[in-house]
Amino acid sequence: MKRLLVIDDEPGHRLMVRAVMEDSGWSVEEAGSGEEGLELLAQDRVNVVLLDMRMPGMDGQETLARIQDMYPGLPVVMLTAFGTVGSAVVAMKKGAFDYLTKPADNEELTAVLEKAWDFGRLMEENENLRRRLSDDDPTAPIVGASQAMCRVRDFIRQAGPSEATILIMGESGTGKELVAQALHDASNRAAQPLVKVNCAALPGHLLESELFGYMKGAFTGAVRDKPGRFQLARGGTLFLDEIGELPLELQSKLLRALQERVVEPLGAVRPVPVDVRIIAATNRDLKRAVEAGEFREDLFFRLNVLEVVSPPLRDRLEDLPTLAGRLLERLCRKNKKGIRSVSPEFLDALMRYAWPGNVRELENVLERSLILSRSDTLGPESLPSQVLTDRPERWQDRMVRPERSERFDRPERFDRLDRSDRPDMAGAPRADAGWPGEGDAPMAGWSGGGGVPGAYPGSLDDAERDALLRALEVHGGHRERTADALGISRRTLQYKLKKFGLIRRGM
């Protein structure tokens, strides 16, 4: 069903729009202010927003800017009085889809909103297609060349196209939502929505209505039908995050939805069929929760058709430099601040820390350092005290790293990669020079695998070139496996090898 959100401070006009659009088969939500409209958008997925220009408090221009920032691609049609048409034109230049003058003509209202819905659907399909074609690999956003992350990517490629229910296990901050997105993008449902529900964010009575929806009159305040997330995800994927926090009384309803592919909205007289694929995630040990009577065993088995573990950062520390580089690039754009390099001491401190908050904590630490740094080179003085003082050597032994034989026993074809004609690479470390944590000074002369600008003194290109060399050595010079591990296409790898002069001339 097409869903419209009307943000207008005039109740009479909202009522008129509701009557017209519900007669045309739309579901309509109402908000009396910009602030209320943003709250509704955070709770429900809509296809089009009809937004009044002049409202007390947050006006239409400011609300439009907030919507575009949080929900890019969501079409917004502006409502304006005759005397403020100029402001509506300005809003269109800033990204609004179209505008209507009050009071809106019924036929024109319907026609414009239908066009906005078509436009929004086209934008969503284009974005889904772009994601699927990006580097020809739905796992491209997943960063890391470690064995643990290679296993995750292999799982996504194998399990993604299936219809099986998948359970993602992992600690908080390890990127379970990113894995769920990649699984959806790799599936045959990628052109349809991925709807996300955090089972820990709402109390049980609200979570039930969010999941299954309700009918008008089901309870006091239910003045209209509201579809649940199962219905909003029709044809696509429903991602149930923190499934271990789902109250016991809702687990039986979820089990029925999984088994029979139907849901019962509150107040409904008959079940509603649903067509969704379920991906669930948790940071709890569900087997122990089953033993403790906190989670239904039959639901666990229904969810755990396929299982994948999103590894903690401490178990893939060799990915940290590349991951930090990717995060820093994004954070520099977000904060409009640039850096030229990262000192070896800074990276050394990152590599020695245990990261109990995983990638989420790493991102927070990097953003803090970027903002507080007084130099264009990030140094250890910008790091929080717990990163500098915590030296959990016990984690070093848990690192996932290739065996030494993989680093020394390389096929002859790797000798085609040459540094002899690159004087600036003469001092660059080799992959067999040692891993972080080995020796008295594990970071000395080591760039950490690239991706972090200036992990050793030098430019971002230097770090990226060193990352390519290390990945190629780890994978024995095999380009297809190297590209797969780095999350790029073989064509992109070939381009970068030529860019950095890592292929002998004539080859």
Residue predicted with more confidence, 122 or 148: 148
Confidence at residue 391, expressed as pLDDT on a 0 to 100 scale: 54
Query: What is d(CA 227, CA 205) in angstroms, rounded to the nearest whole number?
Result: 15
Confidence at residue 120, expressed as pLDDT on a 0 to 100 scale: 86
Residue predicted with more confidence, 284 or 451: 284
Query: What is d(CA 271, CA 261) in angstroms, rounded to the nearest whole number?
Result: 10
Task: Please give the structure tokens belonging to residue 332.
Answer: 């520099």
Find out whether 98 and 92 touch, Cβ atoms under 8 Å.
yes
Task: Please give the structure tokens belonging to residue 153.
Answer: 């990517």
Whole-angstrom Cα Rg for the chain: 26
Residue predicted with more confidence, 441 or 487: 487
Confidence of residue 151 (pLDDT cuts 50, 70, 90): very high
pLDDT tens digits, residue range 93-125? 778 898 888 887 899 999 999 999 988 888 877
Instruction: Please give the mean pLDDT across all residues of the chain.
Output: 80
Query: What is d(CA 426, CA 325) in angstroms, rounded to the nearest whole number?
Result: 23
Residue predicted with more confidence, 139 or 260: 260
What is the arithmetic mean of pLDDT over 396-406?
A: 34
Confidence at residue 371, expressed as pLDDT on a 0 to 100 scale: 93
Query: What is d(CA 427, CA 446) in angstroms, rounded to the nearest whole number?
Result: 10
Q: Residue 150 above 70 pLDDT?
A: yes
Distances (CA, A) of 276 to 223, 279, 400: 27, 10, 36
Confidence at residue 156, expressed as pLDDT on a 0 to 100 scale: 95
Q: Which residue carries 């649903």 as its tokens?
A: 274
Confidence at residue 187, expressed as pLDDT on a 0 to 100 scale: 93
Percent of the chain at pLDDT > 70 equals 80
Q: Residue 83 above 60 pLDDT?
A: no
SS3 state at 151: helix
Burial class of residue 85 in the structure, from the number of CB atoms within 10 Å of its CB (0-12 exposed, 13-18 middle, 19+ buried): middle
pLDDT tens digits, residue range 358-380? 999 999 999 999 999 988 899 99
Distances (CA, A) of 477 to 121, 220, 269, 407, 428: 44, 67, 63, 10, 18
What residues form DSSP beta bridges with 167? 280, 307
Find out whether 48 and 120 touch, Cβ atoms under 8 Å.
yes
Mean pLDDT check: name the lowest of 341-350, 369-378, 467-476: 467-476
pLDDT tens digits, residue range 152-164? 999 999 999 999 9
Query: What is d(CA 198, CA 192) in angstroms, rounded to the nearest whole number?
Result: 20
Maximum Cα–Cα distance across the chain: 78
Helices (H), 58-146: 60-70, 85-93, 106-133
Q: Residue 304 above 90 pLDDT?
A: yes
> Which one-letter DSSP state was computed for residue 266?
B
Helix axes 248-260, 204-212, angle to 10 degrees: 10
3-state helix, strand, coil in the chain (%, to 5): 50, 10, 40
Confidence at residue 403, expressed as pLDDT on a 0 to 100 scale: 36
Confidence at residue 460, expressed as pLDDT on a 0 to 100 scale: 58
pTM over the 0.75 mark:
no
Confidence at residue 426, expressed as pLDDT on a 0 to 100 scale: 38
Helices (H), 410-478: 460-474
Confidence of residue 395 (pLDDT cuts 50, 70, 90): very low
Confidence of residue 252 (pLDDT cuts 50, 70, 90): very high
Confidence of residue 132 (pLDDT cuts 50, 70, 90): low
Distances (CA, A) of 405 to 384, 408, 447, 453, 468: 38, 5, 21, 29, 19
What is the arithmetic mean of pLDDT over 393-421?
A: 34
